A and B are shown apart, each in its own frame.
Chain A
Amino acid sequence: KAGVTQTPRYLIKTRGQQVTLSCSPISGHRSVSWYQQTPGQGLQFLFEYFSETQRNKGNFPGRFSGRQFSNSRSEMNVSTLELGDSALYLCASSMGHGGETQYFGPGTRLLVL
């Protein structure tokens, strides 16, 4: 069974631009969660999507948004990029029942200049 895939793997943007990242979950998984990883803050939860609906949201500004499609693939968007948005963005998928293992993709490394 194929694992979680994320595209692109690397991205360089400039301040003020916007970016869209994509995540394809493991086949059969209906929940996709997004995390931001930085050296200073560690892994922080952004949001979770289940059955095309945002089910949980972390403490990030409204510039961070996401969506999920009927095939469970998910995208996250960051608008008006800031230098501090430079990070590794990880998505994880699970069946969606809660209290279960989440499997992570390799991440998208975003650098904002």
Chain B
Amino acid sequence: KQEVTQIPAALSVPEGENLVLNCSFTDSAIYNLQWFRQDPGKGLTSLLLIQSSQREQTSGRLNASLDKSSGRSTLYIAASQPGDSATYLCAVRPNQAGTALIFGKGTTLSVSS
């Protein structure tokens, strides 16, 4: 059974720091991996999606990497800002068919000004 773990559960950093959020999964047979952001009381916003054949994806100050063989992904946030404060969720899609995403419990990030 696929399990997704995110470390750390919470992280506090001062504004301007670069930081890394970690995601690990137990079964390397995945179709893709998505990183989401969730603000308090809100739904999920997709940040980056990495296909199983890809190594990384970039969007602005965000960079996500994928090492499928070791069951790991990282989300790198450059020059963090208070507006980056949110919960970041990692989710894997097991296969191409219409299967549901399997989520980690998230990392809650707080960036202080």
State whether these chains interact: no
